[in-house]
Structure formats: C-alpha cells, structure tokens
Amino acid sequence: MTTAATIFPPPPFADRVESAVAAPIKKDAAPAPGLADETLRLLSASAGGAEVRALCINLDRRPERWEAFKRNCPIRGVHRFPAIDGRAVRPPAWWRQGGGAWGCMLSHIRILEQALADGLDRCGGRGGVLLVLEDDALFPPDFAERAARFIRALPADWEQVYLGGQHRGLRVRQPQRVNDEVVRPFMVNRTQAYAVRGHFIRVLYQHLCDWPAHARSPRHHVDHRMELLHRAGKHKVYAPAKWIVGQAGGPSDISGRVTQDRFWNGWGKGPRQVHRPPVWVIGLHRSGSSVTAGILHRLGVHMGNRLIGYENRGGRGTGGFEAHGLAMICEQAYPFPSVERAVPVETTRRRLREWIDARQREAAWRGTIMGGKYPHLCFMIDLLLELEPESRFIHIDRPIEESIHSLVDRSAKAHGWLRATPELCERLQRALGEAKTEGLARVPEGRVLTVQYHDLLAGAEDSIDRVVAFLGLKVRPAQRSEALRLVAPARGVHALSLGGRPCQFESGERF
C-alpha cells in the first residue's frame, strides 16, 4: 500500500483532459500504466483501461484507524484522504444527525469534488475510476479472490459498483440477478467501499449537493441520499451477489455506538440457508490452538472476518487465527491473565449469541461452517453448548508443562497486557486445563476430536485428514496443501525443540 505523504499523488488526469479522445469501452482492456495491484488493475480493465484513484477517508484525530486500515487492507495503492471533522466545522441548524454524519457527508462530497477538479470524470474521453473506502472497511481473508471474480463479471456499462453495503427496500424489490457474481440492487446503504466512474462522478456530486433536498430530509446520511439516486433506476449500479467488504467493529465516529464486525449478507429469496453446527478449537495458550485454527481456516471453515492474535504477527496478518470480535468477548469475560470472570455471564451470553448468529449467516452464504478459537473458550464450553447444542469441538492437547513453559517464555518477551509473571502464567494455564477437562467431559459422545500436539507435528497429513472426516468437509487438493504448508517445518528444520520451546514453521507461525 502506498503511504506517501501527499494525499493525491500527482495524477496525469489534468494533462490528458484537453487532448482526450473518446474511445469505445472494451471489456478486459489493458489497464492504465503503473497499476501494480490486481484489484485496481481489474477495475481499470473493467472501465476500458481507465485511470484509477483509490482513497480511504480517515479523520486526523483517528490515526490508529488509519494504521489498522493499512495493516488490513489487501489493496495496494490506496491513499489517505483527511476526513472533514464535523465536530470542528459544525453542521447547519437544519441538520438533525450530528456532527459525525455531517462530516462524513462533506468528506464524500469533497472527494468527488476533487476528482472533478482534476478532470477524472473526463480523463481518456470516457472518464477514470474513483474507488472510495472508509477506514472501517473490513476485508475478509479471501477478499482478493472474490473481488477478482466480481470485477471480471461486471457488465461493461457500470457507473457505480459497491464492494460492501446493505440492501434496502427489499419489500419493494429484491436485487436483480445479472450473473452468478453480480446483482443489480434496488437501494444500497453504507459507504465503506464503492467505486464510481466517468460522468457518474458528476451526477453523484450534483445529487449530494442538492441542499434544498437535504433540508427536506434533515435526517438523511450520505448513504441515504445515495439510496434515492439508486431507487430512481436511471443509472447502472451493481453489487456482488454476496458482499465482499464488511464494516469493522468498534466505536463509530458517526453514531458513537460500539459495534461488532458486520457483513449484511442475509438478504434475498431462494433456498433457505442451512446453519450447520459450529466447530470450536479448544486448547490452552501455546498449545497448538493457533495452528489448529489455521488448518480449519485453510480448509475453508469460516473462522471470522478479521483474524488477529499474537502468533505470526510478522507473517500473513492472520495472527493466531482468532476473530477480533470473539477475542474481545473472551477478553472482556476473562482478561488475560486473570482466571476470574470480570463481567456477568449474561453479558457474555448476549455478545456470544450476536457474534455466533452473524458468523452463522456468513458461513451459510459461503456454503461452509463457522468456527471459533480463543484459549479462554476453555472456560466457556458449557456456555457454547447452551447457545449451540450441536457444537463440535476440536481439542488440541499438548502436555501442560510444555504449554506453561512456552507461555512463560512468550510473556517474558511480550509488552503491555500480554506480559505476565511466571506465577500468573502457570496459574492461568492450570485453570484453563482444569476447565477444559471438566467441560469436554460434558460434551455428548462423538462431538469431540482430540488431536495430540506432537502427533500433529509428526504426522500432519493424518491429523488433517481426521479433521476433514470429523467435520465432513469437502476439501479441494489446493486447500489441503495450504493446510499442510502451515505445519510443514521450514527447510528441513526439526519441528520440535526440547523443553517445550516454541517451534518455527514455514509460515512464520510460532505456537
């Protein structure tokens, strides 16, 4: 990703406007020069080889969100656009939705205005492409593959496309199927990821700048205003059959509420989506639970949308294959390295129910099952069974003394909240071990698969095949190979060190 200080890299747009000659748009045309990222190259090709500008809206007072966006965004070439702070400029008297929503509206208008000033709407005689992202855009692990399929399937006449959003007005009209990857929506809400091109940049700008219309509907956010333009049906607006980009959870700069990671894929008619029983990885800290969760992820199990964790921090960005939302729930209940519950069980039950429901819907739309992993789930086995009685559990079992030694070693090198004394590390590991043993004993027969840590290292193929059979997964050879690569020792180095020390693997994962 580009992190240049300039917000708008010197584009050749203005220089080309005067000499631009209209050209027919050809599907899969050569992309504009200098576009190295596949997503931007495909957007360029879908618009006949047009120039592409990609921007992310971010408030100056929220640098941590920009840093998080840079870490998680798989699209290279996205530049930061400084959002207009509604708290500073203050909305007019007729506005009814607060400073955050006002600043958001002005930021989207300003981006369109700058593109028009630079001649992006006329560049090349047919206009360039403007990709607009917000800093809470949430990219799933398979974003690149899904985005490529969607963009390649776009009709050549597109004017606006959404990568993420929420369908509205479904009782009036359902999204209309164009092909397996693309639908034509009736109305789309949310603005975390959309693209506009050519003359439609000016159309959208003029629509959003219709202040008398705004004053008649003072509670309309920018996305509500866009909905009205879609509803008219005059423009070629398209969306993926299943949303590709979600919204990351956390404190909202618009509403002020704290939200969880969200996708809005639960729309549409057709066959009822079957929610299959979830699978939970149960294991102590430093027990091999991260690589076990990684195996499930690579076999196609939906482990969440924003995978984080201590493990593999310098690797692929998936960390310990822990979903951010689930990790926050577990840490709220049992903050590391405590063994005492910190919030009422009802709070955990409610938040888990919400998280599971959202992941179940997403997994059903993907045609797979959902999974979850966090070491403190050892304390919550009974609660998981209460919420999902058909739950299945993969128990990764490492000798407890090795797990204790490894956690003590990690904690000595860690900083902040991950740092704990050897005594606290041992206390936590033994408490997790006792809770795990007692909880799994109450799981109905046939619902637990135990994988021995050393067996996994010594014979990954057999362990992975057991997991596939246990869950009834339909796995492609490439998926199985990817799962094996996660465990395979790098360059022939022996997988296990003496004394329970962490092991270095090809993927960079340490567990």
DSSP for 83-142, written as a single string: ---HHHH---TT--SHHHHHHHHHHHHHHHHHHHHTTTTTGGGT--EEEEEETTEE--TT
Banded pLDDT at 37 (limits 50, 70, 90): confident
pLDDT on residue 91? 81
pLDDT on residue 307? 86
Last residue of some domain: 200, 224, 259?
Answer: 259
Pick from 306, 116, 292, 311: which is nearest to 204 by CA?
A: 116
> Residue 5 domain-assigned?
no
What span, in angstroms and rounded, lies between the C-alpha atoms of 498 and 452? Answer: 17
Banded pLDDT at 84 (limits 50, 70, 90): very high
For residue 256, what are the CA distances in angstroms to 92, 201, 251, 326?
A: 20, 30, 6, 21
Residues forming a β-bridge with 279: 371, 392
Collapsing DSSP states into helix, strand and coil, what is residue 372? strand
CATH code at position 365: 3.40.50.300
**CA torsion sign, 283 to 285 to 291 to 295?**
positive
pLDDT on residue 9? 38
Pick from 374, 132, 82: which is nearest to 245 by CA?
A: 132
CATH code at position 229: 3.90.550
In the chain, the amino acid numbered 329 is I
Average pLDDT over residues 397-414: 95
What span, in angstroms and rounded, lies between the C-alpha atoms of 80 and 56? Answer: 5
Pair (234, 295) in one structural domain: no
What span, in angstroms and rounded, lies between the C-alpha atoms of 195 and 460? Answer: 43
Pair (237, 320) in one structural domain: no
Pair (321, 250) in one structural domain: no
The pLDDT > 70 percentage for the chain reads: 80
Reduced 3-state DSSP string for 330-367: HHHHCCCCCCCCCCCHHHHHHHHHHHHHHHHHHHHHHC
Pair (158, 91) in one structural domain: yes
pLDDT on residue 17? 34
- How far does CA 52 lie from the centroid of its chain? 23
Phi first, then psi: what are they for 460, rounded to 5°?
A: -60, -35
Banded pLDDT at 11 (limits 50, 70, 90): very low
pLDDT on residue 360? 87
What span, in angstroms and rounded, lies between the C-alpha atoms of 221 and 407? Answer: 48
For 218-254, write each residue's pLDDT tens digit.
667 888 789 888 888 889 999 999 999 998 866 555 5
Under 8 Å between Cβ of 88 and 12: no
> Residue 134 domain-assigned?
yes
Pair (173, 288) in one structural domain: no
Q: Look up residue 72 and give its two tokens.
A: 């998680």
CA angle, 65 then 71 then 76, to 5°: 110
Under 8 Å between Cβ of 280 and 370: no
pLDDT on residue 15? 38
> Residue 7 domain-assigned?
no
What span, in angstroms and rounded, lies between the C-alpha atoms of 372 and 283? Answer: 12
Banded pLDDT at 270 (limits 50, 70, 90): very low
For residue 459, what are the CA distances in angstroms to 164, 299, 489?
A: 41, 17, 12
Full domain range(s) for residue 291: 279-500
For 143-182, write each residue's pLDDT tens digit.
999 999 999 999 999 999 999 999 988 888 889 999 999 9
Pair (114, 202) in one structural domain: yes
pLDDT on residue 268? 46
> Residue 367 domain-assigned?
yes
Under 8 Å between Cβ of 233 and 178: no
Indicate the average pLDDT of the chain: 83
pLDDT on residue 115? 94
> Residue 507 domain-assigned?
no
CA angle, 154 then 16 then 118, to 5°: 75
pLDDT on residue 36? 59
Pair (287, 254) in one structural domain: no
Pick from 94, 103, 101, 87: which is nearest to 218 by CA?
A: 94
Pair (427, 316) in one structural domain: yes
Residues in the chain, total? 511
Give the torsion through C-alpha atoms of 483, 484, 489, 494, to 10 deg.
120
Q: pTM for this structure? A: 0.56
Average pLDDT over residues 465-484: 94
What span, in angstroms and rounded, lies between the C-alpha atoms of 277 and 404? Answer: 32
> Residue 139 domain-assigned?
yes
Q: Is the pLDDT of residue 387 over 90?
A: yes
Q: Which helix or strand (DSSP H or E) is residue 40 part of? A: helix 38-46
Pair (115, 221) in one structural domain: yes
Give the least confident one: 70-84, 271-285, 291-305, 414-428.
Answer: 271-285
Banded pLDDT at 271 (limits 50, 70, 90): very low
Banded pLDDT at 111 (limits 50, 70, 90): very high
> Of residues 12 and 265, which shows the higher confidence score?
265
Which residues are within 8 A (CB) of 365 and not within 5 positions of it... i.e. 6 or more apart? 242, 265, 266, 273
Pair (290, 247) in one structural domain: no
DSSP, res 310: S
Domains in the chain, number: 2
Pair (53, 149) in one structural domain: yes
Last residue of some domain: 201, 229, 259?
Answer: 259
Collapsing DSSP states into helix, strand and coil, what is residue 193? strand
> Residue 385 domain-assigned?
yes
What span, in angstroms and rounded, lies between the C-alpha atoms of 228 and 210? Answer: 12
Pair (370, 479) in one structural domain: yes
> Residue 16 domain-assigned?
no
Work out the burial of residue 256: count CB atoms within 10 Å of its CB; fewer than 13 is exposed, 13-18 middle, 19 or more buried: exposed
